[in-house]
């Protein structure tokens, strides 16, 4: 089990020998083979000693418990050995880009762990840390506006962001209680999570600093005042409410250096050698399309009804520049009320809406997802409450020539080309 943990933490994987039979002493039974070099490499890891110390600690503690020596138990617990994985992260990902490339699994795992109940299965601290890191990451994505694709699958919600040029994809489960399966070894998952939280923490730190944001994140002073509950109504403990406020995803974050005009200076374009004017044009056009995509919901004000999943929708809308609010009793961080006349879109997920306010669209949540994937605000008529929705297509599929393309996708492509819908 020590070896297993070491292998997971150090990222050692088995190898397939060239001559399986020769290595396996003539037998053809299935076995996993590690390189001798890898195992020797594991031996030199300083963390091995820490693991041994921990083992000794557990043994001592058990003995003290058995003898009911509570004083010893206290003392031992105070001196519980701890270890850090910083150097392993650095060793496995010598450059920051390497870490970003391998972020997919880390994010999915952290998002999963942050939805676990605070009882059983794993340490509460781990769950809290996962939640904190996940929320920090979401806040970074909002601040950098780097979300690109979203997808509602039957497994969960997929997100794809482009972080410093690297595509990062993660999945979050739908917000329901898990029925914990029995055929899963949670210790393996916990070991992975241990490494992933360390990795994600460092990545978050670096990402926040790349945007000149405070780390750990600080909510903007102005927004902070807005978020403060009314006098006399204490929300929760201060330490807890801060994470809650952060996870409301409705406030912007404090920057270390106030953004100045100079930051937005347009980059000069240097034509790359050997590039034709067409290619330069195409690149320029692509850049413009990207900028437009980032500002998809700019100027729109959304209101989320209580039956729609708040966090994913608030995250997506904020990522594309929209303003979003929800019922005050649903979550902290609501900025305006349902009766606000300036609301342009209200996201509802019920068969019909009784009292409709004139001047806003009542839409199903799929509209937000489809619009993001289509990179344009789709016509709203297909998404009214109670209407049979058009199919939700995966944005991750790029059809090759000769592949089957669903008719809805063809329609969408035509729409992106600028044709009028309904042709």
Tokens of 383: 């998404």
224 counts as binding another protein under rule CB under 8 A: no
Q: How far is 378 from 384, CA to CA, in rounded Å?
A: 12
**In the complex, least distance from residue 256 CB atom to another protein, rounded to whole angstroms:** 13
Tell me if 226 contacts another protein by CB under 8 A. no
Among 2, 11, 65, 414, binds another protein (CB under 8 A): 11
Residue 167 or 321: the one with the smaller Cβ distance to another protein is: 167
| Burial class of residue 130 (count of CB atoms within 10 Å of its CB; 0-12, 13-18, 19+) | buried
Total residues binding another protein (CB under 8 A): 85
- What's the min distance (Å) between Cβ of 338 and another protein? 18
336 binds another protein (CB under 8 A): no
Among 64, 107, 114, 158, binds another protein (CB under 8 A): 158
Shortest Cβ 232–another protein spacing (Å): 31
Of 79 and 416, nearer to another protein (C-beta) is: 79
Nearest to another protein of 19, 233 (CB atom) = 19
Closest to another protein by CB, 109 or 141 = 109
Q: Can residue 388 be called a binding residue for another protein (CB under 8 A)?
A: yes
**Phi and psi of 309, rounded to 5°?**
-65, 115
The reply to whether 105 sits near another protein by the rule CB under 8 A is: yes
| β-pairing verdict for 301-304 and 345-347 | parallel
Residues 161-200 that bind another protein (CB under 8 A): 169, 173-174, 176-181, 183-185, 188-189, 192, 197-198
Binding mask 40-79 for another protein (x = CB under 8 A): -x------------------------------------xx
Asked if residue 130 lies in contact with residue 193, where contact means CB atoms within 8 angstroms, the answer is yes
User: What mask, x for binding another protein by CB under 8 A, covers residues 201 to 220?
Assistant: xx-xxx--x-----x-----
Return the residues of window 363-382 that contact another protein according to CB under 8 A: 364-366
Over the Cα atoms of the chain, what is R_g? 26
Residue 86, interface with another protein (CB under 8 A)?
yes
φ/ψ region of 197 (left if φ > 0, alpha if ψ in -120 to 50, else beta) reads alpha
**Beta-bridge partners for 166:** 163
**Side-chain half-sphere CA neighbours of 346 within 13 A:** 27
* 14 forms part of the interface with another protein (CB under 8 A): yes
Which of 88-96, 246-254, 265-273, 328-336 is the region at the interface with another protein (rule: CB under 8 A)? 88-96
Choice between 32 and 417, CB closer to another protein: 32
Q: How far is the CB of 288 from another protein (least distance, A)?
A: 26
- 64, 107, 108, 362: which one binds another protein (CB under 8 A): 108
Closest to another protein by CB, 82 or 276:
82
Q: Which of residues 111-140 bind another protein (CB under 8 A)?
A: 112, 125, 129
Please report where in the chains the tokens 């309904």 appear, as a residue.
422
Minimum separation from the CB atom of position 278 to another protein (A)? 21
What is the number of alpha carbons within 13 Å of residue 148 lying toward its C-beta? 16
* Site of tokens 């979401």: 138
Residue 202 makes CB contacts below 8 A (sequence gap 6+) with 86, 89, 99
Q: Is residue 106 within the footprint of another protein (CB under 8 A)?
A: no
| Contact between 221 and another protein per CB under 8 A | no
Nearer to another protein by Cβ, of 179 and 420: the residue is 179
Q: How far is the CB of 112 from another protein (least distance, A)?
A: 6
Nearest distance, CB of residue 413 and another protein, angstroms: 14
Contacts of residue 147, defined as CB under 8 A and 6 or more positions apart, other chains included, come to 141, 159, 160, 161, 315, 316, 319, 320, 372
Q: Which residues of 352-384 are buried (b: 16+ CB within 10 A; e: fewer)?
A: eeeeeeeebbbbbbbbbbbbbbbbbbbeeebbb
- By the 8 A CB rule, do 310 and 248 touch? no
d(CA 116, CA 17): 39
Q: Which of residues 267-306 bind another protein (CB under 8 A)?
A: none
CA trace torsion 111, 292, 381, 322 (10° rounding): 50
What tokens does 251 get?
Answer: 């406030």
Longest dimension (CA), the chain: 82
């Amino acid at each position: 089990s020590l070896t297993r943990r070491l292998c997971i933490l150090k990222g050692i994987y088995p190898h397939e020998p060239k001559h399986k039979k020769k290595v396996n002493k003539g037998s053809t039974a299935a076995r996993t083979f590690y390189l001798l070099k890898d195992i020797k490499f594991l031996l030199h890891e300083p963390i091995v000693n820490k693991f041994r110390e921990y083992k000794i600690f557990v043994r001592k503690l058990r003995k003290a418990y058995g003898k009911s020596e509570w004083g010893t138990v206290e003392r031992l617990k105070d001196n519980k050995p701890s270890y850090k994985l910083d150097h392993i992260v650095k060793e496995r990902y010598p450059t920051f880009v390497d870490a970003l490339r391998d972020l997919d699994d880390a994010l999915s795992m952290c998002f999963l762990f942050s939805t676990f109940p605070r009882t059983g299965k794993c340490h509460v601290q781990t769950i809290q840390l996962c939640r904190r890191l996940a929320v920090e990451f979401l806040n970074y994505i909002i601040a950098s506006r780097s979300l690109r694709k979203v997808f509602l699958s039957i497994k969960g919600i997929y997100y794809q962001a482009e972080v410093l040029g690297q595509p990062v994809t993660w999945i979050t489960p739908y917000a329901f209680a898990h029925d914990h399966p029995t055929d899963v070894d949670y210790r393996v998952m916990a070991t992975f999570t241990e490494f992933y939280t360390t990795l994600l923490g460092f990545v978050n730190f670096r990402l926040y600093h790349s945007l000149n944001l405070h780390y750990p994140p600080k909510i903007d002073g102005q927004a902070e005042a807005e978020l403060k509950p009314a006098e006399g109504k204490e929300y929760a403990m201060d330490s807890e409410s801060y994470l809650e406020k952060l996870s409301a995803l409705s406030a912007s974050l404090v920057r270390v250096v106030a953004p100045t005009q100079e930051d937005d200076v347009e980059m000069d374009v240097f034509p790359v050698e050997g590039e034709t004017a067409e290619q330069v044009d195409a690149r320029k056009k692509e850049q413009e399309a990207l900028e437009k995509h980032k500002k998809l919901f700019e100027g729109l004000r959304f209101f989320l009804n209580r039956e729609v999943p708040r966090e994913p929708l608030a995250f997506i809308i904020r990522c594309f520049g929209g303003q979003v609010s929800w019922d005050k009793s649903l979550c902290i961080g609501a900025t305006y009320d349902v009766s606000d006349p300036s609301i342009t879109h209200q996201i509802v997920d019920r068969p019909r809406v009784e009292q409709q306010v004139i001047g806003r669209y009542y839409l199903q949540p799929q509209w937000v997802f489809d619009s993001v994937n289509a990179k344009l605000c789709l016509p709203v008529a297909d998404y009214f409450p109670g209407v049979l929705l058009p199919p939700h297509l995966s944005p991750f599929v790029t059809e090759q020539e000769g592949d089957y393309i669903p008719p809805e996708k063809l329609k969408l492509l035509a729409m992106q080309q600028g044709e009028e819908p309904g042709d």
